[in-house]
Amino acid sequence: MGDIMVTVCEIEIFIYEANCLKDKRRILKSIIDKLKAKHNITIAETDYNEKWNRSLLTFAAVSNSGKFSDKIINQVLRKIDNDNRVEVIKREIYRC
Q: The domain that contains 84 carries what CATH number?
A: 3.30.70.1120
Average per-residue pLDDT for the chain: 95
How large is the average pLDDT for residues 5-31? 96
Number of folded domains that form the chain: 1
* 57 beta partners: 11, 45
| DSSP string for residues in 66-81 | HHHHHHHHHHHHHHHH
Please state the pTM of the whole predicted model: 0.91
Q: Has residue 2 got a pLDDT over 70?
A: no
Rounded CA-CA distance 32/38 in Å is 10
Domain residue limits at 52: 5-95
User: What band does 66 get if pLDDT is binned at 50, 70 and 90?
Assistant: confident
Q: List Cα–Cα distances, 39 to 1, 44, 90, in angstroms.
A: 25, 14, 21
How large is the average pLDDT for residues 5-11? 96
pLDDT (tens digit, 9 = 90+) per residue, 44-58? 999 999 999 999 999
